[in-house]
């Protein structure tokens, strides 16, 4: 893979470079990407992918030859982004490192005017289906831009690109299941099933593994968004409302304050411990898993049991893992499923996933 990527870079060094503007460029992922782009300036990659500016929600910075200049105005307006590029006819790529729906609402207009978009923001390709289709249709137009979404599932892992390759080469994807959340992976890889689960959640929160309000992880919505993205890549026309989600947040704790939730979540310890014991009696472990059943056209997020010999049971830390079964991979193809495993979160690996998309864009003509 490295040799192929280097060859692609070398064959496109004389092409017009991709000029990059990063929305959310001062956040964790955005600042990591800005740093990676700056560090690559003197490399082959830097010859074809060039940082032209970045913004926060409050300010815009133009970048040229290592010098930065502040710009007044709307941080995500078309005019200001254009001002950060060398010319109006440049190969523009807007990178979205935010979680803002305000930014994703601009994808379709950007793509329709011929700008490219690379994103780690899941709200665009898991949101309203008609808007998603508008974005996809824009990419099919001869004058439309390209839309790169690798970092929306599994950070820098090649999950979306693998699904696209399978589909493009005529394989029939039958199912995709996996541990889509680094937080939920960490919780169930760490919890021993005997101590209080609420204590593991509190420990993870203190260590920064969860959102400030852990309910944002435990309710399964983040996983559901990634499941929708995977399902759409497999050709299913589904939306978030179509995903059957098992939330680990008791209904009576959904509306209380974050502080009250942390105090009262221990009320759920006995119930989840009973599920862990039942799984153990069957030689299984519990894992929080998202699944797309392409044949049945269903999508689910649930706390599920897996035999200890299963790949999901052997996971460690906060890694993500995905199992893809298709006509070629898995029982139908008299083979084993295709497994993708690795870090599914973290600023550096997520930024690297986006950088890979930028290289892929620059390698196309």
Give the CATH number of the domain where residue 123 resides: 3.40.50.720
Find out whether 94 and 84 touch, Cβ atoms under 8 Å: no
Angle at CA of residue 357, ends 76 and 339, nearest 5°: 130
Instruction: Determine the structural domain holding residue 183 and report its residue range.
Output: 161-343
Q: What is the mean pLDDT of residues 332-338?
A: 95
Q: What is the mean pLDDT of residues 131-141?
A: 97
For the segment 287-330, what is each residue's pLDDT rounded down to a tens digit?
A: 999 999 999 999 999 999 999 999 999 999 999 999 999 999 99
pLDDT computed for residue 11 by the predictor? 45
What's the maximum distance between 2 C-alpha atoms anywhere in the chain? 66
Instruction: Indicate whether 233 pLDDT > 50.
Output: yes
Does one domain contain both 18 and 137?
Answer: yes
Alpha helices (H) in the chain, listed in sequence order? 2-11, 28-39, 44-48, 78-83, 101-104, 107-112, 123-126, 129-140, 159-168, 182-190, 197-206, 215-218, 221-233, 258-264, 269-281, 347-362
10 pLDDT band (50/70/90 cuts)?
very low
Does one domain contain both 223 and 139?
Answer: no
2 pLDDT band (50/70/90 cuts)?
very low
- 216's tokens: 């944002």
pLDDT computed for residue 65 by the predictor? 75
Find out whether 23 and 103 touch, Cβ atoms under 8 Å: yes
Does one domain contain both 59 and 101?
Answer: yes
Instruction: Indicate whether 8 pLDDT > 60.
Output: no
Does one domain contain both 167 and 35?
Answer: no
Alpha helices (H) in 105-181, listed in sequence order? 107-112, 123-126, 129-140, 159-168
Give Cα 53 to chain centroid, integer Å. Answer: 23
Instruction: Indicate whether 175 pLDDT > 80.
Output: yes
Q: What is the mean pLDDT of residues 115-139?
A: 97
Residue reference for tokens 């852990």: 214
Does one domain contain both 227 and 328?
Answer: yes
Q: What is the mean pLDDT of residues 337-354?
A: 94
- Helix pair 197-206, 269-281: axis angle to 10 deg: 110
Instruction: Indicate whether 177 pLDDT > 50.
Output: yes
Does one domain contain both 141 and 167?
Answer: no
pLDDT computed for residue 88 by the predictor? 67
Does one domain contain both 329 and 356?
Answer: no
Number of domains in the chain: 2
Pairing of strands 284-293, 173-179: antiparallel
Instruction: Indicate whether 365 pLDDT > 80.
Output: no
Percent of the chain beyond pLDDT 70? 93
Does one domain contain both 33 and 124?
Answer: yes
Q: What is the CATH number of the domain that holds 325?
A: 3.30.360.10
Q: What is the mean pLDDT of residues 81-103?
A: 84
pLDDT computed for residue 4 by the predictor? 43
Does one domain contain both 247 and 311?
Answer: yes
Does one domain contain both 148 and 258?
Answer: no
More confident residue, 289 or 85: 289
78 pLDDT band (50/70/90 cuts)?
low
pLDDT computed for residue 269 by the predictor? 96
More confident residue, 80 or 330: 330
Find out whether 276 and 256 touch, Cβ atoms under 8 Å: no
What is the C-alpha to C-alpha distance for residues 214 and 217, in angstroms, rounded to an integer?
Answer: 5
Residues 6+ positions from 156 with CB-CB distance below 8 Å: 150, 342, 343, 349, 350, 352, 353, 356
What is the C-alpha to C-alpha distance for residues 338 and 322, in angstroms, rounded to an integer?
Answer: 8
Average pLDDT value over all residues in the chain? 91
Find out whether 14 and 352 touch, Cβ atoms under 8 Å: no
pLDDT computed for residue 13 by the predictor? 46
Active-site residue list: 226
Find out whether 57 and 51 touch, Cβ atoms under 8 Å: no
Give Cα 126 to chain centroid, integer Å. Answer: 11
Q: What is the mean pLDDT of residues 131-157?
A: 96
pLDDT computed for residue 90 by the predictor? 83
For the segment 193-209, what is each residue's pLDDT rounded down to a tens digit?
A: 999 999 999 999 998 88
Does one domain contain both 354 and 297?
Answer: no
What is the C-alpha to C-alpha distance for residues 284 and 259, in angstroms, rounded to an integer?
Answer: 33
Helix (H, G, I), strand (E, B) or coil at 147: strand
The end-to-end CA distance of the chain, in Å, is 20
Helix (H, G, I), strand (E, B) or coil at 306: strand
Does one domain contain both 185 and 105?
Answer: no
75 pLDDT band (50/70/90 cuts)?
low
Q: For the chain, what's the residue count? A: 365
For the segment 16-53, what is each residue's pLDDT rounded down to a tens digit?
A: 789 999 999 999 999 999 999 999 998 999 899 999 99
pLDDT computed for residue 77 by the predictor? 65
């Amino acid at each position: 893979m490295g040799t192929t990527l280097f060859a692609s870079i070398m064959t496109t060094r004389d092409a017009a470079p991709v000029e990059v503007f990063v929305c959310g460029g001062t956040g964790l992922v955005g600042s990591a990407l800005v740093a990676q782009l700056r560090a690559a300036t003197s490399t082959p990659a830097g010859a074809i992918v060039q940082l032209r500016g970045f913004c926060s929600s409050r300010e815009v910075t133009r970048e040229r030859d290592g010098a930065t200049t502040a710009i007044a105005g709307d941080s995500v307006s078309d005019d200001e982004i254009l001002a950060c590029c060398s010319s109006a006819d440049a190969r523009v790529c807007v990178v979205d490192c935010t979680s803002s729906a305000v930014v994703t609402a601009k994808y379709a207009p950007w793509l329709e005017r011929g700008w490219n978009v690379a994103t780690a923001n899941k709200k665009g390709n898991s949101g309203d289906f008609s808007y998603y289709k508008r974005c996809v249709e824009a990419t099919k137009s001869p004058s439309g831009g390209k839309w790169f979404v690798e970092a929306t599932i599994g950070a820098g892992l090649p999950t979306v690109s693998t699904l696209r390759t399978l589909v493009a080469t005529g394989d029939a994807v039958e199912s995709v299941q996996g541990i889509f959340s680094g937080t939920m992976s960490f919780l169930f890889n760490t919890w021993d099933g005997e101590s209080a689960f609420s204590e593991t959640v509190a420990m993870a929160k203190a260590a920064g593994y969860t959102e400030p309000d852990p309910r944002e992880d435990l309710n399964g919505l983040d996983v559901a968004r990634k499941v929708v993205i995977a399902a759409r890549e497999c050709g299913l026309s589904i939306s978030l409302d179509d995903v059957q989600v098992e939330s680990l947040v008791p209904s009576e704790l959904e509306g209380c304050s974050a502080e009250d939730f942390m105090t009262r979540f221990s009320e759920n310890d006995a119930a989840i411990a009973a599920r862990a014991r039942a799984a153990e009696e069957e030689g299984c472990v519990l894992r929080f898993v998202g699944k797309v059943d392409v044949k049945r056209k269903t999508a689910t997020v649930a706390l599920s049991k897996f035999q200890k010999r299963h790949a999901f049971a052997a996971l460690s830390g906060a890694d993500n893992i995905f199992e893809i079964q298709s006509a070629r991979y898995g029982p139908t193809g008299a083979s084993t499923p295709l497994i993708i495993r690795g870090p599914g979160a973290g600023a550096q690996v997520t930024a690297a996933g986006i950088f890979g998309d930028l290289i892929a864009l620059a390698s196309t003509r």
